Amino acid sequence: MKFAISLAAVIFSSLTLVNGQSGTGATTRYWDCCKGSCAWSGKASVSAPVRTCDKSNNPLSDYNAQSGCGSGPAYACSNNSPWAVNDNLAYGFSAVKLQGGTEASWCCQCYELTFTSGPNHFDLMIPGGGVGELKPQHRTQLIMILSTVFIALATLGAANAQSGSGKTTRYWDCCKESCGWSGKASVSAPVQSCDINNNPLSDNSVQSGCNGGGAYACANHSPFAVNDSLAYGFAAVNIQGGSESSWCCQCYELTFTSGSVSGQKMIVQATNTGGDLGNNHFDLMIPGGGVGIFGQGCAAQYGASSTGWGAQYGGVSSLAECSQLPSALQAGCQWRFNWFKGADNPSVTFQQVTCPTALTNISKCIRN
């Protein structure tokens, strides 16, 4: 937190946290080149500390490297500079002090700033904004969403995408889900994984069966009908502008807008992601839906071929073919041809919702 600032450099603002907290605060500006405080391990429950760079702005992999402000080799990366998205919106990074909080609660948290007029303080990282005291205090990475008057939720776009339109695909590759690893998000526990016999594992560090380990997707992560118009299930997810820290174990209500299930709804919990997923993409976990690029998982767990059951992409093509699957997976496969009416990758609209206990009781994962 800086004290040696010009009053002319202070702008008052209102602020809204992405998770719903809000208040009023002040902004200042700085760029001292120091390694940020949130770049040290153990500051908060995050996927990784904030990235730092060497003297030539090459990313450092050693989070223990001392700050250049303490004669070490770690500095703030030049790409931590702010940039404009459009005339009314910008992104950037900041040092922060929030009343009643600590680094454990604000490191790598995201905030919307609407410039107006308060006890909370945002020291914006702006090259040429002043070196201040040259102390790496409260250097917190966040996204600034700036507006001269106000920003409605819809205009937050990628940074706060809680609803929108999207696409679906399907898969079941038997691999341990990505959100099954510790540290992916602020949650009660990582997503439950199972051993080769579908017994729940207590050790979240067990390697995935797709990489020669003993952890697999549990068979009860199959979708199921609640009634004729609503189903529950799990999905690999990619929400535009987000990351696993924002969507792991989050739930979304999907309303299908095309195909034979148009108008029906499904609530899914995000338990996985994928490098091959597009923006606002929900890859539904459906046994017999295709193993995709990870053919080794079901081969290891169930003795399936490297292309799984049916086509490698898309899976089985009829209700009768569900009998090819292990008994633990057959009900989930049959769901696709019963409740889901054999729909082939229908489009959806989606909105973030509170997770039903019927899903969190299965995944054992609840967002904090």
Active-site annotation, residues: 32, 173
Give the three-class secondary structure for 21: coil
Q: Tokens 């696409």 correspond to what residue? A: 167
User: What does the block give as tokens for 346?
Assistant: 């229908």
- Rounded to whole angstroms, what are the CA distances from 117 to 114, 166, 297, 335? 9, 37, 55, 54
- Rounded to whole angstroms, what are the CA distances from 221 to 175, 243, 264, 318? 12, 22, 20, 21
Positive or negative, the CA dihedral 217, 218, 219, 221 is negative
At 356, which amino acid appears?
Answer: P
User: Are residues 359 and 269 in contact, defined by beta-carbon separation less than 8 angstroms?
Assistant: yes
Positive or negative, the CA dihedral 313, 237, 193, 266 is negative
DSSP string, 152-175: -GGGGGGGG--EEEEEEEEE---B
Residues contacting 363, CB < 8 A, separation 6+: 191, 192, 221, 234, 249, 269, 271
User: What does the block give as tokens for 262?
Assistant: 């148009």
